Chains A and B, each alone.
Chain A
Amino acid sequence: MAVAVNGPILSLVGLTRRFGEIAAVDDIDLEIEDGEFFTIVGPSGSGKSTLVRILAGLERVDSGAVLLRGRAITDVPANKRPTAMVFQSLALFNHKTVGENIEFAPKMRGVDPRARRARALELMDLVRLPEAYYARPVTRCSGGERQRVALARALASDPEILFFDEPLSAIDYRLRKMLEVELKDLHRETGKTFIYITHSLEEAMVMSDRIGIMRAGRLVQIGPPLEIYQEPRSRFVAEFMGEVNVLATGEAGVDGAGWLVVRPEQLRPLAPGEAADVVFEGRIVNDYLLGSRKQFHARANERMLIGEIAVGAGGVPGPGEPVRLGFDLKDAVRVSE
């Protein structure tokens, strides 16, 4: 069978890896398109690191297969896979210079020193590292510079797929935001397939073409960022997305089993006499200014509700004041698990 040129670059078929009783990766099927930015999001212990380590060839599988453009690579060792990983720890070679780190993969392949150097300088330019850093020991680079060295080093092996195992998790907020944008630009410029691991859905939203939410070794929902945000298929996904209200159907006076997911911006303070499908009487506990929006927490029927309104769009009573809150059922997402 001829493999379609624009078929999936990577296919995972029934991939399973157990550690003792626990399946870190539990029967995962997944197809990743060529040139895609795919992000796997999950809490710690969900098996996302194990999954990406399997794909890189650093972890063996108990059953299942990994196919690269239709060819099984399940038992191909890491050094023979056309992939490269940016590690969480970065794993820079601390006994080598910036240049030697970046040139590592070409050197292993026997590329001559002059060509290696030219390629390293090209990549340093791409990841915005000044040329003067070439001969500098990596131990004398700052956190952000080390990130760039790790990225350039992975790119230097000219991989078909780049893996990222939470490389930005140890970086302060502002630098992280900057690197997220740079990474997205880099993805567009290189046209390579990026597979990114993170525990932050916010980070995934910024960069990804598609997101896979992982829980206890399984991918519980896969889709474009907006779809995951607007149509979570379970309470887990909804709650993982951040601050949402999850109400049992009975609580909202709706028939049938399940839950309603109501995002903060869908819960509005009601003017006297204003109607909504579901109404709560309660008291404001606190409010927080989030730049252009204001978030408020309210207590109603022994539970906390989170709402958000645009600053200047009507008012919210101050903390301690009684309030009527409501939402319409067409805005809520109903989930069964």
Chain B
Amino acid sequence: MRHRISPGFLAMLPVMALIVLGFALPILLVFLYSLMPPRTFSLAGDPTLANYRAAVTEGYLLPLGWSLGLAGLTTLVCLVLAWPTAKALVRFAGRFATLATILIALPIFISESVRLFGTALFMMPGGGIFAGSLNALFGLKIGSILYTRTATLLGMVYIHFPFMLFPMVLGLSLVPQDQIEAARDLGARPFQVFREIELPLALPGITVGTLLTFVLSLGANAEAAILGGQAVIVITKAIEQRFGYAQDWPSGAALTVLVILVTAAVIFPVLRRVDLDRLIRR
């Protein structure tokens, strides 16, 4: 009898191939390299944990801490800023919301580095766009936050805000207006409406936005490099430096695996509690 292959399985094959070749295999390679002796370029060496030991003892915990801290702070700031924005966009759906959405989404189509260099130009002291204009127009002389941690955080928030906003808008649009009205009618104050109705019903969208922002922020290094100067060294910068300048692949691979493990430790417990299907099914 002829063996029958289901069409679903056939349709899945191209994506499976892509995931195996483009994702699973490279990750496996990185993992194997992280177990090789330092400064070797082959997978034939004896497995060792020396690279992980070095990652802890040679001061790489600090950049990892910076990355986690910045990502956490960026996520928090984005959460606080995106909630009122998302509420306004959902509430005033129509021409205003479309325009606002375009204005927020458009910069995504411009290269991140270009945008960050633009921001740097804006922040530059003396002859920068902001400080220079103030000086020329009003004779005001101000300092600059360029090349500080604050500038880095601002850049991170600026770049990652849309990734928090749009899932949140999607989540909030799932909250039926009549349930909000019913809650108000039954005596709920605005904060109680938020806690009892909006937050639980919009949670899938908020969670997706939070995870996206956090994971992207954790992997970001351009903000720190362009706006932070030498004020902050993030872990991705350190990994880039291990693979490139230092030519120590096993060391870079070990740091990469550490970042992946930390990310997974944050994401999986959260994902388990969210019904992503609800967001997609609508």
Decide yes or no whether B46 CB sits under 8 A from chain A.
no
**Chain A's nearest CB lies how many Å from the CB of B193?**
8
Chain A residues, CB < 8 A from B181: 58, 78, 87, 91
Residue among B176, B183, B185, B197 with max Cβ neighbours from chain A (10 Å)? B185
- B172 CB, nearest partner CB in chain A, Å: 15
Q: B196's contact among A92, A104, A153, by CB below 8 Å, is which? A: A104
Q: How far is the CB of B275 from chain A (nearest CB, A)?
A: 11
Q: Does A157 make an interface contact (CB < 8 A)? A: yes
- Interface presence of B27 (CB below 8 A): no
Determine if A286 is an interface residue (Cβ-Cβ < 8 Å): no
Of A79, A84, A153, A154, which contacts B188 at CB under 8 A? Answer: A79
Which one of A77, A91, A153 has the highest number of Cβ atoms from chain B below 10 Å of its Cβ? Answer: A91
In A74-92, the 8 Å CB interface with B consists of 77-80, 83-85, 87, 89, 91-92
Q: Is A56 an interface residue (CB 8 A)?
A: yes
CB closest residue in chain A, given B190: A79
* In the bound complex, CA of A56 to CA of B181 (Å): 10
- Please report the number of residue pairs spanning A and B whose Cβ atoms sit closer than 8 angstroms: 61
Which residues from 183 to 237 on chain B have a C-beta closer than 8 Å to any C-beta of chain A? 183-189, 192, 196-197, 200-201
A 131-175 contacts with B by CB, 8 A: 153-154, 156-157
A186-221 interface code vs B (CB 8 A; 1 in, 0 out): 000000000000000000000000000000000000
Would A85 and B192 count as touching, CB distance under 8 A?
no
For B98, list chain A residues within 8 Å (CB): none
Q: In the complex, A211→B188 CA distance in Å?
A: 32
A105 B184 Cβ-Cβ under 8 A: no
Minimum C-beta distance from A289 to chain B (A): 42
Q: How far is the CB of B273 from chain A (nearest CB, A)?
A: 14
Whether, in the assembled complex, A240 has its beta carbon less than 8 Å from a beta carbon of chain B, the answer is no
Cα distance A156–B185 in the bound complex, in angstroms: 12
Q: Which A residues touch B192, using CB under 8 A? A: 108
How many angstroms from the CA of A80 to the CA of B186 in the assembled complex? Answer: 9
Are B189's CB and A91's CB within 8 A? no
Q: Quick one: which of A58, A89, A156 contacts B184, CB cutoff 8 A? A: A58
B187 touches A79 (CB 8 A): yes
Kindly list chain B residues whose C-beta atoms are within 8 Å of the C-beta of A57: 184-185
A245 to chain B minimum Cβ distance, whole angstroms, is 41
Does B182 contact A87, Cβ atoms closer than 8 Å?
Answer: yes
B277 close to chain A: CB less than 8 A: no
B163 to chain A, nearest CB (A): 26
- 1/0 per residue, CB under 8 A from A, across B143-171: the answer is 00000000000000000000000000000
A229 proximal to B (CB < 8 A): no
Asked if B176 and A91 make an inter-chain contact with CB atoms under 8 angstroms apart, the answer reads yes
Nearest CB on A from B183, distance (A): 7
Q: Give every chain B residue within 8 A of A84 (Cβ-Cβ).
A: 185-186
Any chain A CB within 8 A of the CB of B179? yes
A93 to B199, CA, bound (A): 13
Contact of B187 among A56, A87, A92, A109 (CB under 8 A): A109
Contact residues in A for B189 (Cβ distance below 8 Å): 79, 108
B91 to chain A, nearest CB (A): 15
Residue of B nearest to A85 (CB): B185
Interface check B178, CB cutoff 8 A: yes
Given contacts A79-B189, A104-B196, A108-B192, A93 and B184 within 8 Å (CB-CB): no
Query: A278 to chain B: closest CB distance in Å?
Result: 51
Is A78 a contact of B197 with CB atoms below 8 Å? no
A114 within 8 A of B: no
Residues of A near B182 (CB, < 8 A) are 85, 87, 91-93
Q: What are the residues of chain A within 8 A of B185 when measuring CB–CB?
A: 56-58, 78-79, 83-85
Supply 13 A–B pairs (Cβ within 8 Å), ascending by A. A57-B184, A57-B185, A58-B181, A78-B184, A79-B187, A79-B189, A83-B185, A85-B185, A87-B182, A89-B176, A91-B176, A91-B179, A92-B179
**Chain B residues within CB distance 8 Å of chain A:** 176, 178-179, 181-189, 192, 196-197, 200-201
Residues of A within 8 A of B (CB): 56-58, 77-80, 83-85, 87, 89, 91-95, 104-105, 108-109, 153-154, 156-157
Given contacts A58-B184, A108-B186, A154-B186, 10 further A-B contacts (CB under 8 A): A57-B184, A58-B181, A78-B185, A79-B184, A84-B185, A93-B197, A94-B179, A105-B186, A105-B187, A108-B187
